[in-house]
Chains A and B, each alone.
Chain A
């Protein structure tokens, strides 16, 4: 019997180890091409304090240069954003961040309020897999799952991604146990330029009311910020497509008024921000490139330093030294992208060309 018990324990341990290693192997790495799935976990690696947290979707993480905010205003900020990050994702990103720090200001991009129900398993995974386990993550998963998802596949991602054994690439082996940073404090830098030429006409709204589920999470976010003494600012990024309807704008404005919040619809301030649609976007107007993101950061930074009591961290040596590294990375990535653009006319290590 003793021999059987030893065999059982040994085999069980080896089995668990094999499954853990396989799990690391088959999990998507999000290191090249589609890198958005890395953003959530990168947040935990940052050692700088953050007085401003940006919470939202690509309208923030691609449109606000966190390094520019630091360079121009000394603001130490972080963008907790993900691709198609819906409002409940955003709420739990905030709740999760508050486990580690309490910023002075939270800036939430309101575009995702148009979605009232979970939409995509892929985006759920990209936003949530990187979140550290806590009650918040459990609630975030439960709030986000689509009908065909199963909670246990979040607990054991191997069960979800096991079928990737057929599509393993070099990066899956290379990044099994570590990751490289792909964002600079949550900012996804793109230096290529594709001007806005023509936008499709907006479709007619069938139901202009923002959904109760989405607005409920906005209310929870508002209450949470109030409870923690955080200033919540609602913004609509200066992106004209997809269309932001006046009916939605009105509802968000009413909500902001009712809750004593600031709401800045940057679509009304595009000229003031200085966006040049022939130069400041990398995909025909849907997202800003670094030139647009720096302009938008300059605009937001100006507002933030004028209206919020923020520290100029350029004068705090221990924080400044951390930011110096970020600035270096920012400049390196920019230079690498510019070099690729010069050589190939398009980015090869970023975006769709980099997808393995």
Chain B
């Protein structure tokens, strides 16, 4: 059941009605049933995977909690019978930490193992085969890749680590945990929620609120507008452009790059808008995943604004633990002593960042293009960081930094750089990407902008007008948020005519100009595959 399907819309409407008609104590169990039904529609086999992840996470959480409780009780008893000492406390805590660590490790290996086996086995086989003789090549295996496995596995691992760290209490009701793991709007493309955030509203009882519900509806419509009016219209041209690498070179590659950048933006943010909108209609708060990424002035800022929950997941669960790991600290010390101040400061940061970006690339897909894409991000961020003092000197001398035009230049530069790196995702072939990007700088076929070539990419002149109008609307809404630092809905809500008028406008425009229905392939969200 795709988000862009009549079945999904009917499913969601029925859920909304039942959610507010049934007694409030049945709201979260209803969501669990709906989430499992949603997953069952995709494939009943998927339930085995998500069920296994839920059960193992529940057991691991329970055992870690029990180990912690046992230690707390021992400390309390020691205090009561007078045997308490700081050393005893330290020893008990260390013991609890060790046993919790074992539980965490086993559960993480198990769940990340499922992810690795289902998603990466064939990638490994393909690469091993490159070193084997033709006759002894390993056969690819036919494995089910459960929908959204990367998202729910990361969410579950986040829960386990938080339980281990004691930042959240282990969930005592397995059905509640099952809902956290499987909450259907975010199951297929995130955001990657934290248990501590989502559980605050996921299990609560919610009364119908006109403001909350209609705000959610507008968000949903906004998401569909971006997805079916923009992304699913522009995808035709992108598919044509990347499909014929002999024909579409030079300036065509530049067009493909920007088209893909906006397709991905509208596709991914549109999907997240639908997710957050549905949750909002249900009274549930899901963390924002985007904060005007195309207004970023550098790549580091971009990654703080794009796919925020994934970035913060990698930061909190990989980068920071790596940075403070005993061995890393030792390496840092060693490098300071043997390699000097410069490398002493940087080596461990570089290693940690390298691992994070490698993992980010691998998380996105079992292919070299994603790995190279991740490492390109790493390289650009590190180089930018190294050049920072040089930039400072430059700005000091010329004083451009606070000029509005320079801000715009920085934004455009970031969009260009990110779009360029994303070409690895676009062509999905590393040598081909280098070759095609190379033609951008060697083949000067700028006449394609005037000779009508752009009208032969599967989209008509009228489509271009719709795309341009759609992008202008998105830009206006984004600029409003960028300048006022507030969601445009807050302003629109004040006048009910504008509020409901905006809703009607989005509905009509999406229904009329959307690329959906018979004659269009139901285009899956790009991030569903991760």
* Chain A residues in the interface with B (C-beta under 8 A): 3-4, 6-8, 10-12, 14-15, 18-19, 22, 121, 148-150, 152-153, 158-160, 162-163, 165-166
**Interface residue tally of chain B, by bracket?**
20 to 34
Known: A4-B496, A11-B503. A153 touches B517 (CB 8 A): yes
Bound together, the chains give a CA A275 to CA B511 distance in angstroms of: 51
Residues of A within 8 A of B507 (CB): 15
Interface contacts (Cβ under 8 Å), in number, total 60
A150 & B512 in contact (Cβ 8 Å cutoff): no
Kindly state the separation between the CA atoms of A14 and B515 in the bound complex, as whole angstroms: 24
Answer whether residue B351 sits at the interface, using C-beta atoms and an 8 A cutoff: no
Q: Say whether A162 contacts B511, CB under 8 Å.
A: yes
Complex-state Cα separation, A54 to B497, whole angstroms? 55
A150 touches B508 (CB 8 A): no
| Mask of B454-466 contacts with A, CB within 8 angstroms, 1/0 | 0000001011000
User: Is B517 touching A7 in the complex (CB atoms < 8 A)?
Assistant: no
B137 close to chain A: CB less than 8 A: no
Contact between B512 and A22 (Cβ–Cβ < 8 Å)? yes
Is B49 at the interface (CB under 8 A from chain A)?
A: no
Interface flags, B326-357, vs A, CB<8A=1, else 0:
00000000000000000000000000000000
The docked-state distance in angstroms from the alpha carbon of A148 to that of B6 is 13
Closest to A165 in B: B512
Give complex CA distance A55, B513 in Å.
Answer: 38
Pairwise interchain contact A7-B496, C-beta atoms closer than 8 A = yes
For chain B, what secondary structure do more than half of its interface residues adopt (helix, strand, loop), or is it mixed?
helix
A-B contact sample (7 more), CB < 8 A, given A18-B508, A149-B518, A165-B513: A11-B500, A15-B508, A19-B511, A148-B518, A150-B6, A162-B517, A165-B512
CB of A14 within 8 A of CB of B504, answer yes
Which chain A residue lies CB-closest to B9?
A: A152
Instruction: Chain B residues near A148: list those with CB within 8 A.
Output: 518
| B501 beta carbon closer than 8 Å to chain A | yes
Taking the complex as formed, is B120 at the interface, i.e. its CB lies under 8 A from any CB of chain A? no
How far, in angstroms, from A341 to B329 measured CA to CA in the complex?
Answer: 94
List of A residues within 8 angstroms of B210 by Cβ: 4
B389 beta carbon closer than 8 Å to chain A = no
B residues contacting A by CB (< 8 A) are: 6, 210, 460, 462-463, 496-497, 499-501, 503-504, 507-508, 511-520
Residue contact B518 to A3, C-beta cutoff 8 Å: no
CB atoms of B501 and A11 under 8 A apart: yes
Chain B residues closer than 8 Å to A4, beta-carbon distance = 210, 496, 499
Q: Separation in Å of the B213 CB from the closest CB of chain A?
A: 12
- Asked, given contacts A14-B504, A153-B517, whether A162 binds B512 with beta carbons under 8 Å apart, the answer is yes
Looking at the assembled complex, report how far the CB atom of B230 sits from the nearest CB atom of chain A, in whole angstroms: 15
Residue of B nearest to A121 (CB): B518
From B6, B463, B511, contact of A152 by CB (8 A): B6
Inter-chain CA distance A7–B502, complex, in Å, is: 12
Question: Which residue on B lies nearest to A8, using beta carbons?
Answer: B500
User: Is there contact, CB below 8 Å, between A7 and B518?
Assistant: no
Q: Which residue from A10, A15, A19, A159 sits with its C-beta under 8 Å from B517?
A: A159
User: Shortest Cβ distance from B471 into chain A, in angstroms?
Assistant: 18
CA gap between A145 and B462 in the complex, in Å: 31
Instruction: Give A6 to B495 CA distance when docked, in angstroms.
Output: 12
CB distance from A21 to the nearest CB of B (A): 11
How many whole Å from A11's CB to the nearest CB in chain B? 4
A350 to chain B, nearest CB (A): 27
Write the chain A residue with the least CB distance to B10. Answer: A152
What are the residues of chain A within 8 A of B516 when measuring CB–CB?
159
List 10 tightest A-B contacts by C-beta distance, closest first. A7-B496, A11-B500, A15-B504, A4-B496, A166-B462, A152-B6, A7-B497, A11-B504, A7-B500, A159-B517
In the bound assembly, the distance between CA atoms of A201 and B504 in angstroms comes to: 58
Task: Evaluate contact between B517 and A3: CB separation under 8 angstroms.
Answer: no
Closest B residue to A146 by beta carbon equals: B518
B525 CB, nearest partner CB in chain A, Å: 19
Bound state CA distance, A22 and B507, in angstroms?
13
Q: How far is the CA of A152 from the CA of B10 in the complex (A)?
A: 11
A3 to chain B: closest residue by CB: B496
When chains A and B are docked, how far (Å) is the Cα of A15 from the Cα of B503? 10
Expressed in whole angstroms, the Cα–Cα distance for A150 and B9 within the complex equals: 13
| Pairs across A and B, CB under 8 Å, 8 listed | A8-B496, A11-B504, A15-B508, A19-B508, A121-B518, A162-B512, A163-B520, A166-B460
Complex: A241 Cα to B404 Cα, angstroms = 74
Residue of A nearest to B461 (CB): A166
By beta carbon, the residue of chain B nearest A16 is B504
List residues of chain B with CB within 8 A of the CB of A6. 496
* Chain A hits for B515, CB < 8 A: 163
Most A CB contacts (10 A, CB to CB) among B210, B462, B511, B516 go to B511
Q: How close is A255's CB to chain B, nearest CB, in angstroms?
A: 35
Give the residues in chain B near A11, CB-CB below 8 Å.
Answer: 497, 500-501, 503-504
A14 nearest in chain B by CB position: B504
In the assembled complex, the CB of A211 is this many whole angstroms from the nearest CB of chain B, namely 25
Give B499's nearest chain A residue, CB to CB.
Answer: A7
Task: Write out the residue numbers on chain B whose beta carbons fall within 8 Å of the beta carbon of A15.
Answer: 504, 507-508
If the complex has contacts A4-B210, A149-B518, A150-B518, are A159 and B497 also in contact, measured as CB distance less than 8 A? no
- Distance in angstroms from A176 CB to nearest chain B CB is 15
Q: Within 8 Å CB of B517, what residues of A? A: 150, 153, 159-160, 162-163
Which chain B residues lie closer than 8 Å to A3 at the CB level?
Answer: 496
Give min CB distance, A196 to chain B, whole Å.
36
Give chain B residues whose Cβ lies under 8 Å from the Cβ of A22: 508, 512
- Contact yes or no, A160 B518, CB < 8 A: yes
**Closest A residue to B518 using CB positions:** A160
Choose from B460, B500, B511 the contact partner of A158 (Cβ within 8 Å). Answer: B511
